[in-house]
Amino acid sequence: MALSKLLASVATAILLIPSASGADIYKIDPAHTAITFSVRHLGINSVKGQFKEFAGSIVIDNKTIKDASGTIQVKSVDTGITKRDDHLRSADFFDAATYPTIIFKSKLIKKEPVYTRHRLPDGRVTIVADFTMHGVTKELRLPAKITGPVKDPFGNVRIGLEAKTKLNRKDYGINFHQVLERGVLLVGEEVELGINAEAIKQ
């Protein structure tokens, strides 16, 4: 009995030792971050917009992403036109009253074999994540590139993150479907998502 208690105490002590990996947590800086989207309109042009309220964090170990997560407030959608934004918040699209957030949570980080001319990895990864929108969760692959860390003029340590991917809105139950006389959708189904972010070390 005494031996089992001793082993349990040792195991607990080991678990409480800080990780030697040196992983750091970075919080997204909203003042220097843009989460954008683009979708075809009338089949002739891409309408662009953004979400203005969000939060997120990135775990970095040895200049490589180990984990990433974020939450977007759907009501903050902004395309520059109030009437259009209200329509996007309605049940035709995001249904913000029922599904107020979009959630992103990584589950696997894959390093990409892309190298600079000096044969050093350039920070590119593919973030494989659970992406929840409009009450539907699906796996999303997000090619991304990490830059930094660097120190800003105020002493904060920052990293940069650039990422872009595409998804089909109908996969998430956003089924608005209006077809023009020439057979083209009023609003396209494919949506391009972009993240251009800075995050501050905690």
User: pLDDT tens for residues 150-190?
Assistant: 999 999 999 999 999 999 999 999 999 999 988 899 999 99
Please tell me the pTM assigned to this model.
Answer: 0.83
The first and second tokens of residue 26, run together, are 């970075």
Asked whether residue 10 is assigned to any structural domain, the reply reads no
- Predicted confidence (pLDDT) per residue in 17-28, tens digit: 334 357 999 999
Asked whether residue 194 is assigned to any structural domain, the reply reads yes
CATH number of the domain at 109, please: 2.40.128.110
In the chain, the number of structural domains is 1
Q: Cα separation of 79 and 48, whole Å?
A: 6
The answer to whether residues 49 and 37 touch, using CB atoms and an 8 Å cutoff, is: yes
Q: Cα separation of 104 and 138, whole Å?
A: 10
